[in-house]
Chains A and B, each alone.
Chain A
Amino acid sequence: MLQLLWIIPALPAAGFVVLALLNRHLGRRAAAVIGAGSVGLSAVVALLVAVSFIASPPPGDVYRQVLWTWFDTGGLAPQIAFYLDAMSVIFVVVITFVGFLIHLYSTEFMERDEGYTRFFMYMNLFVASMLVLVLADNLLLLYLGWEGVGLCSYLLISFWQRDLQNVYAGRKAFIVTRIGDTALIIGLFLLFTQLHTLAIQPLMAGAAKEWPVGSGFAVAAAALLLGGAVGKSAQLPLQTWLPDAMAGPTPVSALIHAATMVTAGVYLIARTNVLFTLAPDVRLAVAIVGTVTLLYACFCALAQHDIKRVLAYSTMSQIGYMFLALGVAGWSAAIFHFMTHAFFKALLFLAAGAVIESLGGEHDIFKMGGLRRKLPTAFWAFIVGAASLAAMPLVTSGFYSKDLIIETSLGSVDGNAWLWLGALVGSLLTSIYAFRLVFVVFFGDQQTPVTRRPRWRMLLPLWVLSALSLIGGFVWLPEWMGSFHPLENFLGEALPPLKTVASSFAYTGVSALLTSLVAVVGVALATVWLVESRAALGDFAARPTPHALQEFWLNGWGFDWLYEHVFVIPVKWFARVARNDLVEPAFSGLAWLNVQAWRALSASQNGVLRVYIAVAGVGLVVILAFVVLR
Chain B
Amino acid sequence: MILLWYILIPAVAAPLAWLLSLSRPQAARWVAVAGTSLPLALVTWQWVAQAGALRAAFAAHGPGVAGLVQGTWLADIHAAWISPLGISFFLAEDGLTLIMLVLTFAMGLLAVLASWRGIQERVGFFHFMILWTTAALAGVFLSLDLFLFYFFFEMMLIPMYFVIALWGHEKRVYAAIKFFIFTQASGLLMLIAILALYFIHGRATGTYTFDFTQLLGTQMPSATAFLLMLGFFAAFAVKLPAFPLHTWLPDAHTEAPTAGSVILAGVLIKIGAYGMIRFMVPLFPQAVYDFRTVGMVLAVIGIIYGAVMAYAQRDLKRLVAYTSVSHMGFVLLGIFAWNTLALQGVVLQIVCHALSTGALFILVGTLQDRVHTRDMTKMGGLWAVAPRMGGTAMFFALASLGLPGLGNFVAEFLILVGTWQVSKWAAVLGAVGLVFATVYALWMMQRAFQGEETHALRFNDLVPRETGMYAALIAALVVLGFYPQPLIATVRQTVTSVQQITAGSPLSPKPTSAVQVGIPADRAPAAAAVADGTTTDGGR
Q: List A residues at the B interface (Cβ < 8 Å).
A: 20, 23-24, 68-77, 80, 140, 143-144, 146-148, 151, 154, 158, 161-164, 167-168, 171, 174-175, 178-179, 182, 185-186, 188-190, 192-197, 199, 202, 205-206, 210, 571, 574-576, 578-579, 581, 583-584, 586-587
- With an 8 Å Cβ cutoff, the count of chain B residues facing the other chain is 67
Q: Output the nearest chain A residue to B246 by Cβ-Cβ distance.
A: A583
Question: Measured between C-beta atoms, what is the minimum distance from B503 to chain A in Å?
Answer: 16
- Known A-B contacts A71-B485, A186-B427; the reply to A147 vs B344 at CB < 8 A is no
Mark each residue of chain B from 400 to 420: 1 if its CB lies under 8 Å from any CB of chain A, else 0.
000111000110011011101
Instruction: Tell me if B518 and A195 are in contact (CB < 8 A).
Output: yes
Interface check B336, CB cutoff 8 A: no
State which of B203-211, B216-224, B446-454 sits at the interface with chain A: B446-454
Instruction: Tell me if B446 and A586 are in contact (CB < 8 A).
Output: no
Instruction: Tell me if A206 and B518 are in contact (CB < 8 A).
Output: yes
Question: In this complex, which of A154, A167, A578 has the most chain B Cβ atoms within 10 angstroms of its Cβ?
Answer: A167
Instruction: Tell me if A74 and B518 are in contact (CB < 8 A).
Output: no
Q: What's the A-B contact tally at a CB cutoff of 8 Å?
A: 167
Instruction: Tell me if A182 and B432 are in contact (CB < 8 A).
Output: yes
- Known A-B contacts A75-B535, A175-B435; the reply to A147 vs B403 at CB < 8 A is yes
Please report the C-alpha to C-alpha distance between residue A197 and residue B515 in the assembled complex, in whole angstroms. 10
Chain B residues, CB < 8 A from A587? 247
Chain B residues, CB < 8 A from A571? 308, 311, 439
Interface check B396, CB cutoff 8 A: no
Please report the C-alpha to C-alpha distance between residue A477 and residue B120 in the assembled complex, in whole angstroms. 77
Chain A residues, CB < 8 A from B398? 151
Of B414, B450, B537, which one neighbours A158 at CB under 8 angstroms?
A: B450
Chain A residues, CB < 8 A from B311? 571, 575
Chain A residues, CB < 8 A from B119? none
Of A24, A174, A195, A205, which one neighbours B438 at CB under 8 angstroms?
A: A174
- Known A-B contacts A161-B450, A179-B435; the reply to A73 vs B344 at CB < 8 A is yes
Interface check B368, CB cutoff 8 A: no
State which of B37-45, B187-195, B280-288, B519-527 sits at the interface with chain A: B519-527
Instruction: Tell me if B446 and A167 are in contact (CB < 8 A).
Output: yes
Please report the C-alpha to C-alpha distance between residue A587 and residue B186 in the assembled complex, in whole angstroms. 14
5 more contacts with CB within 8 A, not counting A23-B387, A147-B409, A175-B435, are: A75-B515, A80-B482, A146-B404, A151-B398, A175-B438
Interface check B214, CB cutoff 8 A: no
Interface check B365, CB cutoff 8 A: no
Question: In this complex, which of A73, A174, A190, A581 has the most chain B Cβ atoms within 10 angstroms of its Cβ?
Answer: A73
Listed by A's residue number, 21 A-B pairs whose Cβ atoms lie within 8 Å are A24-B387, A71-B410, A72-B488, A74-B537, A75-B530, A77-B523, A77-B526, A146-B404, A161-B383, A163-B452, A167-B451, A168-B446, A174-B442, A185-B416, A193-B417, A193-B420, A195-B518, A196-B515, A196-B519, A205-B520, A583-B246
Chain A residues, CB < 8 A from B452? 162-164
Question: Measured between C-beta atoms, what is the minimum distance from B538 to chain A in Å?
Answer: 12
A-side interface mostly: helix
Please report the C-alpha to C-alpha distance between residue A70 and residue B536 in the assembled complex, in whole angstroms. 19
Question: Measured between C-beta atoms, what is the minimum distance from B121 to chain A in Å?
Answer: 29
Please report the C-alpha to C-alpha distance between residue A347 and residue B35 in the assembled complex, in whole angstroms. 62
Chain A residues, CB < 8 A from B536? 74-75
Please report the C-alpha to C-alpha distance between residue A85 and residue B451 in the assembled complex, in whole angstroms. 44
Q: Output the nearest chain B residue to A195 by Cβ-Cβ distance.
A: B518
Instruction: Tell me if A578 and B312 are in contact (CB < 8 A).
Output: yes
- Known A-B contacts A161-B450, A179-B435; the reply to A73 vs B488 at CB < 8 A is yes
- Which residues of chain B (471-527) have a CB below 8 Å from chain A? 482-485, 488, 492, 515, 518-520, 522-523, 526
Chain B residues, CB < 8 A from A586? 244
Chain A residues, CB < 8 A from B383? 161
Instruction: Tell me if A583 and B312 are in contact (CB < 8 A).
Output: no
Please report the C-alpha to C-alpha distance between residue A164 and residue B447 in the assembled complex, in whole angstroms. 9
Please report the C-alpha to C-alpha distance between residue A197 and residue B518 in the assembled complex, in whole angstroms. 9
Please report the C-alpha to C-alpha distance between residue A485 and residue B312 in the assembled complex, in whole angstroms. 57
Instruction: Tell me if A186 and B442 are in contact (CB < 8 A).
Output: no
Of A161, A178, A206, A575, which one neighbours B520 at CB under 8 angstroms?
A: A206
The 8 closest A-B CB pairs, nearest first, are A575-B312, A74-B341, A74-B340, A144-B404, A189-B420, A196-B518, A202-B520, A583-B244
Interface check B529, CB cutoff 8 A: yes
Please report the C-alpha to C-alpha distance between residue A575 and residue B387 in the assembled complex, in whole angstroms. 30
Question: Measured between C-beta atoms, what is the minimum distance from A280 to chain B in Å?
Answer: 24
Interface check B381, CB cutoff 8 A: yes
Of B250, B384, B435, B537, which one neighbours A178 at CB under 8 angstroms?
A: B435
Please report the C-alpha to C-alpha distance between residue A259 and residue B371 in the assembled complex, in whole angstroms. 42
Interface check B428, CB cutoff 8 A: yes
Instruction: Tell me if A74 and B410 are in contact (CB < 8 A).
Output: no
Interface check B50, CB cutoff 8 A: no
Instruction: Tell me if B519 and A197 are in contact (CB < 8 A).
Output: yes
Question: Measured between C-beta atoms, what is the minimum distance from B309 to chain A in Å?
Answer: 6
Please report the C-alpha to C-alpha distance between residue A167 and residue B439 in the assembled complex, in whole angstroms. 13
Chain A residues, CB < 8 A from B391? 20, 23
Instruction: Tell me if A189 and B417 are in contact (CB < 8 A).
Output: yes
Question: Measured between C-beta atoms, what is the minimum distance from A81 to chain B in Å?
Answer: 12
Instruction: Tell me if A175 and B442 are in contact (CB < 8 A).
Output: yes
Of A69, A140, A575, which one neighbours B413 at CB under 8 angstroms?
A: A140
Interface check B339, CB cutoff 8 A: yes
Instruction: Tell me if B529 and A72 are in contact (CB < 8 A).
Output: yes
Interface check B262, CB cutoff 8 A: no
Of B387, B404, B413, B450, which one neighbours A167 at CB under 8 angstroms?
A: B450
Chain A residues, CB < 8 A from B420? 186, 189-190, 193
Instruction: Tell me if B431 and A182 are in contact (CB < 8 A).
Output: yes
Interface check B313, CB cutoff 8 A: yes
Interface check B147, CB cutoff 8 A: no
Chain B residues, CB < 8 A from A171? 442-443, 446
Mark each residue of chain B from 218 to 234: 1 if its CB lies under 8 Å from any CB of chain A, else 0.
00000000000000000
Interface check B269, CB cutoff 8 A: no
Interface check B293, CB cutoff 8 A: no
Chain A residues, CB < 8 A from B388? 24
Chain A residues, CB < 8 A from B237? none
Instruction: Tell me if B381 and A162 are in contact (CB < 8 A).
Output: yes
Please report the C-alpha to C-alpha distance between residue A24 and residue B529 in the assembled complex, in whole angstroms. 48
Chain B residues, CB < 8 A from A196? 515, 518-519
Please report the C-alpha to C-alpha distance between residue A72 and residue B523 in the assembled complex, in whole angstroms. 12
Question: Measured between C-beta atoms, what is the minimum distance from A341 to chain B in Å?
Answer: 27
Please report the C-alpha to C-alpha distance between residue A164 and residue B454 in the assembled complex, in whole angstroms. 12
Chain A residues, CB < 8 A from B529? 72, 75, 77
Question: Measured between C-beta atoms, what is the minimum distance from A2 to chain B in Å?
Answer: 19
Instruction: Tell me if A197 and B414 are in contact (CB < 8 A).
Output: no
Instruction: Tell me if A202 and B309 are in contact (CB < 8 A).
Output: no
Mark each residue of chain B from 46 to 64: 1 if its CB lies under 8 Å from any CB of chain A, else 0.
0000000000000000000
Please report the C-alpha to C-alpha distance between residue A206 and residue B341 in the assembled complex, in whole angstroms. 21
Question: Measured between C-beta atoms, what is the minimum distance from B4 to chain A in Å?
Answer: 32
Chain A residues, CB < 8 A from B535? 73-75
Please report the C-alpha to C-alpha distance between residue A143 and residue B452 in the assembled complex, in whole angstroms. 34
Please report the C-alpha to C-alpha distance between residue A188 and residue B413 in the assembled complex, in whole angstroms. 10
Chain A residues, CB < 8 A from B404? 140, 143-144, 146-148
Instruction: Tell me if B523 and A199 are in contact (CB < 8 A).
Output: yes
Question: Measured between C-beta atoms, what is the minimum distance from B475 to chain A in Å?
Answer: 12
Instruction: Tell me if A182 and B523 are in contact (CB < 8 A).
Output: no
Please report the C-alpha to C-alpha distance between residue A163 and residue B450 in the assembled complex, in whole angstroms. 8
Please report the C-alpha to C-alpha distance between residue A186 and residue B428 in the assembled complex, in whole angstroms. 7
Please report the C-alpha to C-alpha distance between residue A201 and residue B413 in the assembled complex, in whole angstroms. 21
Mark each residue of chain B from 245 to 270: 1 if its CB lies under 8 Å from any CB of chain A, else 0.
01100100000000000000000000
Instruction: Tell me if B313 and A75 are in contact (CB < 8 A).
Output: no
Question: In this complex, which of B243, B404, B420, B452 has the most chain A Cβ atoms within 10 angstroms of its Cβ?
Answer: B404
Q: Output the nearest chain B residue to A170 by Cβ-Cβ distance.
A: B442
Chain B residues, CB < 8 A from A185? 413, 416, 431, 434
Instruction: Tell me if A73 and B414 are in contact (CB < 8 A).
Output: yes
Instruction: Tell me if B451 and A162 are in contact (CB < 8 A).
Output: yes
Interface check B421, CB cutoff 8 A: yes
Of A24, A72, A192, which one neighbours B526 at CB under 8 angstroms?
A: A72
Chain A residues, CB < 8 A from B247? 581, 583-584, 587
Instruction: Tell me if A581 and B309 are in contact (CB < 8 A).
Output: yes
